[in-house]
Structure 1
């Protein structure tokens, strides 16, 4: 049974299995941000981007970045690092506006 799971996930050992699980968890968080945005927009009756969207983006992006580093995938690493910069900057701007500055 375990061997079948490893074959299906294309992993050779438990370390790779757990990294795949971490990567999938990051992807679920990253996908969850769209559900958060959709639900908030439906409730408001217009398109909105709630604060939780950016926190889901950061959390999912950080986990996916770690997974990309583990996989040594430069395309994935670059893509996630650029996204992390953008999500962080948006949070910075939101919190600065709330502080009045």
Structure 2
């Protein structure tokens, strides 16, 4: 196996690990609070996993995977934007 193939596998498995971690973090929160809660870490793991898998898909030249991961990244960034805007609004309300 060549060095570039190993690097591609590391990128791909890192993305898969991040996607696993987002579900793991969400499960821990759900168990702790006894209801379904989406923590902010879920969106960061989603974005990180999506970025790694998008990189992997580009390296593999897989157009289906590229389109899928690109779309997901936009959604994850948008959710993080809303979360940070809401936090910012709450800070100004408390002043």
Q: How far apart in 2 are the matches of 1:22 and 1:78?
A: 18
In 2: Cα distance, 1:18 partner to 1:93 partner: 34
Displacement over 2 Å in runs of 4+: none
Per the TM alignment, residue 21 of structure 1 is displaced from its structure 2 partner at its CA by 1.6
**CA distance in structure 2 between the partners assigned to 1:78 and 1:58 by the alignment:** 15
Specify which of 61, 83, 90 is matched with residue 94 of structure 1.
83
Report the Cα distance in structure 1 between the residues aligned to 2:5 and 2:24, rounded to whole angstroms: 29
Aligned residue for 1:75?
64
Matched, 1:53 2:42: yes
1:84 aligns with 2:83: no
TM-score calculated relative to the size of structure 2? 0.90
Q: CA RMSD in A?
A: 1.1
Show structure 2 runs of 5+ residues with no match. 91-95
Which of 23, 26, 47 is equivalent to 1:34? 23
Q: Provide the residue aligned with 2:32 in structure 1.
A: 43
Report 1 or 2 for greater relative contact order, CA contacts < 8 Å, sequence distance ≥ 6: 2
Gaps in structure 1 of 5+ consecutive residues: 1-5, 7-12
Q: Distance in 2 between matches of 1:82 and 1:22?
A: 19
Aligned residues: 90
